[in-house]
């Protein structure tokens, strides 16, 4: 069931959700709650994010939507020639770019925080120091990671006991992580980029022939950016500009909006066909154009210009599937959260190691598990996303936000690599066009574009739907189970007098709510009673 309340936090981990709600109860803003929750998630869900992760955020301050890009660049001295010869790795120091999530917390706090920064990290410090029970999906992901990282000593020492990963419900502590969080809290992030933590990261990189330096860390900063938007029905969908794949969602939504699917039922195979084809076009553009904006050949606004979206929409055959996207997207692990407070402010926030625990590198004595975002580059000279030093790679993690009548409407996101823009499109279609409540929309069966004509459906999708899509030329595979490979979603929707929050059962998630000192009016939103 959806949660209706004056203030809400929704995450993929119940303990983290509670941390955020406690901050709101103390009078913190949605931004304060998001920071505290994000820090807690590095502790209780290390299988998908950590202190060495990257992050992106959108924050509604009651009047305006703000964006933060807290992703890092590849080291300036990255040996590109060697990586071209040997291939871009997915583990080890060559896979690491400057971790940005800590800078994202600080940037969000400086924009919209009100409580002391040290108070926001205190709950995460307590969880790391005193321990927490490992949640079910997290325990499964942890166990699967053991083989991948078995040769990484730091990972083994931090994330196993006697060579074993934790069982469901096992109490786990992360003492090094706690000490690092305390240093970050006391210095408002400075120790991470210019102090002893930066020195520890650079020293470990140097000891293992990595390129990351103290200069790389000191020069990093989160970037304040203006979100991009396209109309969809009576709302505007907002995504962050590149280097993330938000453009894929914007293009797909803009194309779908032009095909006038509103008269179709949310489960109508024709509507699903149009969604799938629009998504292929979004992915094709993202794979071709999205990169560090300094290296892009087309500006993002050109890619979502109304006349261009008109042309893309005209490419879709309403009766037949087409091979509009040739490459199979890759899976990754991520955490997403959204928060809304009683004053009408809201945050959509996402952070990720990229693949599981990331690179496998855990900096000795710190608990800092480094992401492997350099794997997001391509080895294609001349391509905007070609690997290079001092350059941000293509990023999969994207928070989403909708506005309606120039007011906050919904903060939402879907964790899971290439499922993210696909999940955005499916939730948007059900909630905005179909009038579904967020929990019903999240619970509904999803599809996933695999590449070419290949499409996967969750096992609870109607058999008749699969048959019609097959007849239209889609190569349909029914997934063996309903799981996180189809994404893990969270959403908070603004109603007239309160917020409506929802969390995905495909993860361990939970939406929690409480009353606040008063609610701000929101846009008029009604649900379809059938959902």
The DSSP secondary-structure symbol of 486 reads G
- 522: Cβ contacts below 8 Å, ≥ 6 apart: 344, 407, 408, 409, 494, 495, 496, 497, 499
The DSSP secondary-structure symbol of 384 reads T
The Cα–Cα gap between 58 and 40 comes to 19
Helices (H), 407-506: 419-428, 438-443, 463-471
Residue 33 Cα distances to 20, 400, 422, angstroms: 4, 18, 27
Residue 445 Cα distances to 268, 426, 437, 487, angstroms: 13, 10, 15, 11
The DSSP secondary-structure symbol of 359 reads T
Give yes or no for a contact between 312 and 255, defined as CB atoms under 8 angstroms apart.
Answer: yes
What is the CA angle 520-406-517, rounded to 5? 10
**Cα-Cα-Cα-Cα dihedral sign, residues 142, 147, 148, 153:** positive
**Catalytic option among 37, 42, 187, 334:** 334
Helices (H), 266-410: 269-289, 300-303, 306-314
> What tokens does 397 get?
């993690």
- The answer to whether residue 334 is catalytic is yes
The DSSP secondary-structure symbol of 145 reads H
The strand pair at 454-457 and 475-478 is best described as: parallel
The Cα–Cα gap between 181 and 230 comes to 38
The Cα–Cα gap between 503 and 414 comes to 10
Neighbours of 416 (CB within 10 A): 27
The Cα–Cα gap between 527 and 415 comes to 25
Strands (E), 226-345: 228-232, 235-239, 333-340
The residues that are catalytic are 334
């Amino acid at each position: 069931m959806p949660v209706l309340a004056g203030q809400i936090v929704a995450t993929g981990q119940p303990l983290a959700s509670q941390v955020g709600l406690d901050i709101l109860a103390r009078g913190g803003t949605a931004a304060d709650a998001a920071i505290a929750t994000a820090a807690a998630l590095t502790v209780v869900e290390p299988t998908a994010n950590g202190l060495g992760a990257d992050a992106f955020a959108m924050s509604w301050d009651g009047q305006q939507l703000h964006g933060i890009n807290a992703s890092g660049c590849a080291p300036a001295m990255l040996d590109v020639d060697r990586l071209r010869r040997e291939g871009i790795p997915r583990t080890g120091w060559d896979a690491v770019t400057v971790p940005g999530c800590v800078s994202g917390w600080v940037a969000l706090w400086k924009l919209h925080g009100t409580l002391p920064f040290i108070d926001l990290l205190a709950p995460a410090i307590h969880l790391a120091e005193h321990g927490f029970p490992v949640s079910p999906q997290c325990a499964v992901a942890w166990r699967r990671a053991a083989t991948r990282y078995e040769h990484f000593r730091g990972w083994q020492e931090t994330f196993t006991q006697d060579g074993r990963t934790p069982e469901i419900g096992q109490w786990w502590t992360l003492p090094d992580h706690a000490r690092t969080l305390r240093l970050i809290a006391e210095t408002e992030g400075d120790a991470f980029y210019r102090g002893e933590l930066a020195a520890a990261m650079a020293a470990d990189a140097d000891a293992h022939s990595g390129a990351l330096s103290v200069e790389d860390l000191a020069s990093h900063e989160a970037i304040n950016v203006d979100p991009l938007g396209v109309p969809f029905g009576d709302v505007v969908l907002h995504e962050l500009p590149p280097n993330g794949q938000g453009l894929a969602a914007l293009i797909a939504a803009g194309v779908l909006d032009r095909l006038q699917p509103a008269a179709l039922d949310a489960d109508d195979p024709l509507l699903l066909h149009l969604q799938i084809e629009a998504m292929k076009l979004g992915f094709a553009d993202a794979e071709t154009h999205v990169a560090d904006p300094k290296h892009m050949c087309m500006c993002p606004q050109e890619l979502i210009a109304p006349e261009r979206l008109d042309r893309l929409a005209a490419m879709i055959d309403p009766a037949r599937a087409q091979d509009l996207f040739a490459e199979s997207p890759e899976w990754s692990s991520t955490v997403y959260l959204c928060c809304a407070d009683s004053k009408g402010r809201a945050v959509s926030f996402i952070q990720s190691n990229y693949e599981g625990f990331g690179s496998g590198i855990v900096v000795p004595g710190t608990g800092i598990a480094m992401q492997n975002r350099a794997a997001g580059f391509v080895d294609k000279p001349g391509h905007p996303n070609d690997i290079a030093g001092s350059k941000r790679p293509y990023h999969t993690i994207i928070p989403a936000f909708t506005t309606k009548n120039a007011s906050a409407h919904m903060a939402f996101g879907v964790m899971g690599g290439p499922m993210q823009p696909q999940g955005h499109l499916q939730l948007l279609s059900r909630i905005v066009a179909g009038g579904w409540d967020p929990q019903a929309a999240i619970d509904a069966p999803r599809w996933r574009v695999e590449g070419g004509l290949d499409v996967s459906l969750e096992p609870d999708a109607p058999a008749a739907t699969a048959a019609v899509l097959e007849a239209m030329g889609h190569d349909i595979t029914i997934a063996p189970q309903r799981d996180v490979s189809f994404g893990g979603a969270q959403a908070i929707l603004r109603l007239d007098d309160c917020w409506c929050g929802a969390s995905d059962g495909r993860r361990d998630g939970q939406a929690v709510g409480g009353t606040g000192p008063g609610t701000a009016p929101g846009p008029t939103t009604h649900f379809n009673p059938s959902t």
